Structure formats: structure tokens, C-alpha cells
Amino acid sequence: MFRKLLLKLLLIGTFFVIVSGLGIAEEPAFPVINVAYHPNMNGAPPIALGESKGFFREEGITVKPFRFTAGPPEMQALAGGSLDIGFLGTGATFLVIQGGATLLTISEIGIADADAILAWPDTGIKKPQDLKGHSIAVCLGTSGEMLYLLTLEDGGLSKDQVTLLPMSPEAAITAFQSHKVDAISASVPFTYQIFKAIPNVNIVRTDEYFYKEKNFVAPNVWVVNKEFAAKKRDLVVKFLRAWLKANDYRLKHMDETAVIGSKYADIPLDVFKASIPAMKYFSSKEIVDLAKNGTVDKWMNSLSEMFVKMGRLPKTIPSDQFYDKTMLLDAAK
């Protein structure tokens, strides 16, 4: 009897080993949040550090990461419900302002060449007005498009005076480096790749010019699906609590974070680190203070006005219609 029972137990044990070997997934120990990140020093570290340093585990959540390189397709996924939370560059925030998602927090702002209009030296394009009659590759709905439109305005050019070629960031880089287009509006880390490949490339305009000369602030942001925020607000707060920990860790350990993040995003370390000198990174306390004192509202209202000028919005929309700071403030308590 005992030998028969032992045989059954052995067979059951063998079955579970086989099942385990087949890779049948177990239920995650914690609630799952689907989160979009971008493979750069701005969008990847909160997720990479949240996992590697255990910040998500400490908050009792599991983050399932999804990689994006542009905001518009990410916003489609957010609006459709296949994503819960995501990182966005400034250029795609008009989709948030339109009501596609709820703004949770800003993260960092571009102050140098996080975005840049670059041109081949043999085109003679050195200043904005030189773009007249030339082709330029731009990923629409991104901060690259925003810089492109600001640069046209700065050069006194209309849209029909330049040949705009809409492309994905990857396709734009390929087209520019193969000299199939005269100019490009690109963002880090793609700008860094161009600087390495074409050291004598002409720099027409960067974020730094508009930040210093026009007092234009371009923040990166984290956003949430509206329905997810309404139904699972507690999970959003837990994510933000882990995010705040990761944000401070990044600020205090930039080099280590770059190594962790570049491996996570599968991006060469030098390319991954390219955005560091181009950005202003805030401590978590500074981010919370910017939310509390109304600075974020001011920045987002200015962006709303900018998007109207760009033709992305029919009218300005006040920040209180798309920005909910309460979840961040609850996470910071």
C-alpha cells in the first residue's frame, strides 16, 4: 500500500516538474500594471530600477513593461486600455490634453540638445530660414515635431516652404544618415547617434535655444489610462510611490543607473547616457513641490497654448481638465 502511494506521489511530482519545465506561467504574486517605457535615460530607469532594486516588490505590485520609441502609438494603446501607465515626451502631450489619458506627473525637462534640428553640411542649412526649399524628416506627434514647428516660426517660414517627410524615429535616422533627406528633427538618443556618425553635422536649433531665449519649458511626463485610474487608484499610487524611489535613486546614482538602464533597454551605454547633459533632472521632493505650487499647471497651460498655435488643439484646455496631481501627492505622503 505504502509503495503504491509512494509511486503515485513520485508520478505527481514528475508531472509538476514536466509542467514547470514546459514554462507554464504561474499567477503573479502581486497585481499587474502594464507600463510603457522609452529606451533612454528618461523613460527606462524608473522601470529598470523599480525591478532591479525591488521598489515595485516593496509596494506589492508587478510591472509588465512595454517598449515604445514614440508617443502617438503608445497613446493609442493607453486609450485602448492595453496599457495602464506610460512615459511620454513633450510632443505627445497634446493627446493627453485632448483627453486621451490623465497626466500624473512631470519627470524631467529638456534644456539643451535633447531635441535638435540637424542638417547635412553640404546643404548650406545653418539657420532656421535656410530650411526653405529643403526636405526634413520628422516623427509626427513627438517633441521632434514641436521643435520643428518652433523652428519654422523662428525662421519666419510657413509649412509649405519646407518639404516635411513624416517618419518613425528609426526610419528618419536611416533616411538622414544615408543622405536621403537634407535635415532631421530628432531626439536623444538618436541625436547622439547622428553626432557620432556625422561629426560635422550642422546644428540648426536645439531645445536650449528655446529654453533660454524663449523661456519655453518642455517636460517629459507620466500618464495613466483614465479608467484604470478610476478603478484602481490604489495601484497607481503604489506605482508612483515606487517611481519616486526610483527617481531619487537615479539622481543620486546616475552612472550606475545608466549601466542598469542601458542593459535593460538593450542600448549601448554611451548612447543611453547621451541625454544626461541635455536634461534637467529633479529630485522627487522638487517634483512634488512643482506640483504643489502650481508650476506644473503653468507649464501645461503654456503647452496647451503652444499646441493651439501648432494646430494640434482647436482651443486651449486648462490643466485641471487633464492633470490630476492628487495621486502623486498621496504617494509622497
The phi and psi torsions of 251 (rounded to 5 degrees) equal: -60, -35
**pLDDT, tens digit (0-9, with 9 covering 90-100), for 16-40:** 333 333 344 456 689 999 999 999 9
Instruction: Using the predicted structure, report yes or no on whether residue 11 has a pLDDT greater than 90.
Output: no
Encode 114-127: b = buried (16+ Cβ within 10 Å), e = exposed.
bbbbbbbeebebee
Contacts of 45 (CB under 8 A, 6+ apart): 246, 250, 257, 260, 261
Cα angle: 134, vertex 138, 141; to 5 degrees:
140
**pLDDT, tens digit (0-9, with 9 covering 90-100), for 282-305:** 999 999 999 999 999 999 999 999
Question: Is 186 within 8 Å of 205 (Cβ atoms)?
Answer: no
Mean pLDDT to the nearest integer, 94-118: 93
User: What is the rounded distance in angstroms from the CA atom of residue 227 to the CA atom of residue 247?
Assistant: 26
- Mean pLDDT over all residues of the chain? 90
Structural domains of the chain in order of their starting residue, each with its CATH number: 32-111+218-332 (3.40.190.10), 115-213 (3.40.190.10)
Confidence of residue 46 (pLDDT cuts 50, 70, 90): very high
**pLDDT, tens digit (0-9, with 9 covering 90-100), for 220-277:** 999 999 999 999 999 999 999 999 999 999 999 999 999 999 999 999 999 899 889 9
Percent of the chain with pLDDT over 70: 92
The phi and psi torsions of 114 (rounded to 5 degrees) equal: -60, -35
pLDDT attached to residue 8: 41
